[in-house]
Amino acid sequence: MNDDVLRTAYAHVLAARAPNSRRECPTPEALLAVVKHRGSEAERHATLDHVSRCFECRRDLDLLRAVQATRVPVARRLSTLAAAAAILVLGVPLISYYMLRPAAPPPEPERAAGDVSLVSPRGDMRAVQPIGFVWRRVESADQYDVTVVGDDGSTIARETTRDTSVLVHAALSGGRDYYWSVVAHLANGGERRSEPLRFRFTTP
């Protein structure tokens, strides 16, 4: 679509008017100015005011608007062509990249919120004795404190180790929540802590 189509519709508007009819109606040029947003705002408002009261002019304006609406703006055409060109130029490299790039490592489900990542125990589990507690190594840590508390806040066990795991011998009952946490003592005197992690022994 281009301005030739709009001019053709404009010619139909001219041909539809009898030589001496509709003398009070806006000229076809005024209707075209409304469609193309040309001319002064006051002139366009005056034309639209007449169109709102004139069936013939409203029909002519609708015709011109319908033709204008079918036109694809030049900027949209250019952007569409540019996008198509980008797909042609970059499509193969992008496809190759996504097909050949290494898969992202899976998230670590064991990671708890905090500076120390606790691994196990967690959640509901079968009762075992002794209980093995495992966490991830913290850079520059030379000692770890492990604390186990009951759901009433009482301390069940406390252990200190240089390893990232420890066996705790404690009589824990089934059907009760327990929480454990680790404090990593760093060589520079600092500390890193975990968030408490819940576990429970399921009852038979």
Each residue's pLDDT expressed in tens, for the chain with a length of 204 residues: 456 666 676 666 666 655 556 678 888 888 888 888 888 888 888 888 888 888 888 888 888 877 766 654 544 554 555 555 554 445 445 444 445 555 555 444 443 345 899 999 999 988 888 889 999 999 989 999 999 998 888 899 999 999 999 998 888 888 889 999 999 999 999 999 999 999 998 866
Say if residue 64 is in the same domain as residue 125. no
Which of 69, 84, 104 finishes a domain?
A: 69
Specify if 144 maps to a domain: yes
Range of the domain at 8: 3-69
Say if residue 65 is in the same domain as residue 123. no
Q: What are the distances in angstroms from CA 192 to CA 28, 120, 132, 143? A: 80, 18, 21, 11
Q: How far apart are CA 139 and CA 176, in angstroms?
A: 34
Reading the block at residue 176, the tokens are: 């009760």
Q: How many CB atoms lie within 10 A of CB 49?
A: 11
Q: How far apart are CA 117 and CA 7, in angstroms?
A: 73
User: Any idea what DSSP says for residue 152?
Assistant: T
Specify if 106 maps to a domain: no
pLDDT at 104: 54
Specify if 174 maps to a domain: yes
Specify if 20 maps to a domain: yes
pLDDT at 58: 84
Which of 69, 89, 108 finishes a domain?
A: 69
The domain that holds 175 is classified in CATH as 2.60.40.2550
Specify if 136 maps to a domain: yes
| Domain count within the chain | 2
Q: Torsion angle, CA of 116/178/146/159, rounded to 10 degrees? A: -170
The pTM assigned to this predicted structure is 0.44
Specify if 142 maps to a domain: yes
Q: Contact 144/159 with Cβ under 8 angstroms?
A: no
Q: Contact 115/181 with Cβ under 8 angstroms?
A: no
